[in-house]
Amino acid sequence: MKLLVSPAKSLNYESPLPHAHCSQPAFVNEAAALNMALRKKSPAELKSLMGISDKLAELNWTRNQSFTTPFTSDNARPAVYAFDGDVYTGLDAYTIDEEKWDTLNSSLRILSGLYGVLKPFDLMQPYRLEMATSFSVNGSKNLYGFWQEKITAQLNSELQSDELVLNLASKEYASAVSLADIDATVIEPIFKDYKNGNLKIISFYAKKARGLMARYLIDNNSKTLEDVLGFAIDGYRYSEEHTVDPTKPVFVR
């Protein structure tokens, strides 16, 4: 089962790593081409492009200037241990047991504005480039145009026969994949919470739930839709009543 997740804006390059396993991203050359265009932009231009503060613009200008290849354990960090947002709080990769590292690396795929798609142990250097950024490069008017065919082909090249794809990414990042062209059944779980008597998607909780589901499926080496529907963590349960499309199962709490 392939598990697609979004990256995070928050990064962690300080915590001790659980192991030294690492690999190279599939799209290092593409990332370098994007960085080449980014590093030409001043902090003020980055601020305008990304809608960020002066402080973040300066930080990311420095990151862009520091980008270098080849990636090594001295200048980069495995992606799953570098991202530090809500999804990754739920995933809690630092506590995944050693016997599950192969499952983690074979199943989890992190979509990225700079790197396209990353395996968990792929090395990455710190960056900020959200997929929805209005950034034209190499003849593509935006990052979706730059990445969609590449990411879709890469995912298809990795799929085994009858392997499921679980889309746990946000709409912003899932749109960088042509899901209709994926050579597999794509399952897109929906997480909803009751608030003031109404059932709704609450972004903060949904992000963490995606990470929790990814962790559950990795821990259990899950392979089937039935395995997905068995997810019952942090109060969430599959609701057949609220599920209209079986490929979009709804989990409520």
pLDDT tens track for 19-58? 999 999 999 999 999 999 999 999 999 999 999 999 999 9
Look at residue 242 and tell me whether its pLDDT is greater than 90: yes
Residue-level pLDDT at 181: 97
What is d(CA 118, CA 109) in angstroms, rounded to the nearest whole number? 6
Residue-level pLDDT at 129: 97
Work out the pLDDT band at 141, boundaries 50, 70, 90: very high
What is d(CA 150, CA 126) in angstroms, rounded to the nearest whole number? 22
What residues pair up with 194 in beta bridges, in sequence order?
199
Work out the pLDDT band at 201, boundaries 50, 70, 90: very high
Look at residue 119 and tell me whether its pLDDT is greater than 90: yes
Question: For 90-110, what is each residue's pLDDT tens digit?
Answer: 999 999 999 999 999 999 999
Look at residue 137 and tell me whether its pLDDT is greater than 90: no
Q: What is the mean pLDDT of residues 241-249?
A: 97
Look at residue 197 and tell me whether its pLDDT is greater than 90: no
Residue-wise over 126-165: b if at least 16 C-beta within 10 A, else e? bbbbbbeeebebeeeeebbebbbeebbebbeeeeeeeebb
CB of 136 within 8 A of CB of 142?
Answer: yes
Q: What is the mean pLDDT of residues 9-24?
A: 95
Work out the pLDDT band at 164, boundaries 50, 70, 90: very high
Look up residue 47 and give its two tokens.
């601020």
Work out the pLDDT band at 216, boundaries 50, 70, 90: very high
Closest among 132, 104, 141 to 119, alpha carbons compared: 104
Q: What is the mean pLDDT of residues 196-215?
A: 95
Q: What is the reported pTM? A: 0.96
Look at residue 138 and tell me whether its pLDDT is greater than 90: no
Residue-level pLDDT at 1: 96
